[in-house]
């Protein structure tokens, strides 16, 4: 059996590809551990399922092509969220439709939460999803990371590339708007 340029002639490119994959991150593990949270974050941020899927796929392709990208990352999830957040902002800028995009989908109900058989819980989830959709994207991103990903303000700041005080104020303003918007629901009881 002759091996030339890392390619085993009896198995075609199998040996060459396996050598290339040796240094790449464990994409399956990354996908299993982070894809659902990244999808939820992106969907909440972009308000478009197609864009969310495309951005998530692009990020995993980027990771497969640049295996060293995660080296030195202190927190994998925070690093991955920052990657998809930056990609989403770049997408919006490239399209030049940031405001138009937000206005177009602001009134559209996007299922952010899992369905529930309890009608009261379903109503609350719908109202919360609508209230979240009304927040500016910057506040919505911080609220999502704080409440659903349970990140600290320092981690949010690092993830989004903003100062910690900015993360804290966006969270506070976002919560204030959510409280005001949802007040009729909790005053009913």
**Is residue 125 a contact partner of residue 116, using CB atoms and an 8 Å limit?**
yes
Closest CA to 88 of 137, 134, 131: 137
Please tell me whether residue 3 adopts helix, strand or coil conformation: strand
d(CA 80, CA 82): 5
d(CA 81, CA 87): 10
What pLDDT score was predicted for residue 13? 35
d(CA 121, CA 185): 11
158: its two tokens: 């690092």
Which domains occur in the chain, in start order?
A: 1-108 (1.10.1740), 110-189 (1.10.10.10)
What pLDDT score was predicted for residue 152? 93
Closest CA to 42 of 148, 163, 155, 122: 148
Exposure of 123 in the CB half-sphere (CA atoms within 13 A): 7
What pLDDT score was predicted for residue 69? 86
Whether the CA torsion 93, 96, 97, 98 is positive or negative: it is: positive
d(CA 84, CA 58): 9
What pLDDT score was predicted for residue 184? 85
| DSSP state at residue 148 | T
Low-confidence ranges of the chain (pLDDT < 50): 1-23, 25, 98
Within the chain, residue ranges assigned H as helices are: 14-22, 27-46, 49-65, 76-95, 98-106, 119-134, 137-147, 153-160, 164-188
| DSSP state at residue 12 | B
């Amino acid at each position: 059996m002759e091996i030339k340029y890392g390619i085993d002639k009896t198995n075609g490119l199998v040996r060459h590809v396996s050598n290339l994959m040796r240094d790449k991150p464990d994409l399956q593990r990354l996908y299993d551990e982070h894809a659902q949270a990244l999808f939820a974050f992106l969907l909440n941020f972009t308000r478009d399922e197609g864009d969310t899927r495309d951005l998530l796929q692009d990020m995993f392709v980027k990771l497969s092509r640049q295996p060293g990208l995660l080296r030195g990352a202190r927190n994998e999830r925070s690093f991955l969220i920052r990657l998809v957040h930056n990609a989403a902002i770049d997408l919006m800028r490239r399209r030049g439709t940031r405001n138009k995009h937000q206005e177009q989908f602001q009134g559209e109900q996007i299922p952010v939460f899992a369905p529930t058989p309890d009608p009261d819980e379903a109503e609350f989830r719908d109202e919360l999803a609508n209230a979240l959709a009304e927040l500016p994207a910057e506040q919505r991103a911080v609220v999502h990371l704080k409440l659903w990903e349970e990140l600290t303000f320092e981690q949010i700041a690092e993830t989004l590339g903003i100062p910690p005080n900015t993360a804290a104020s966006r969270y506070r303003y976002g919560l204030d708007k959510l409280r005001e918007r949802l007040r009729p629901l909790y005053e009913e009881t």
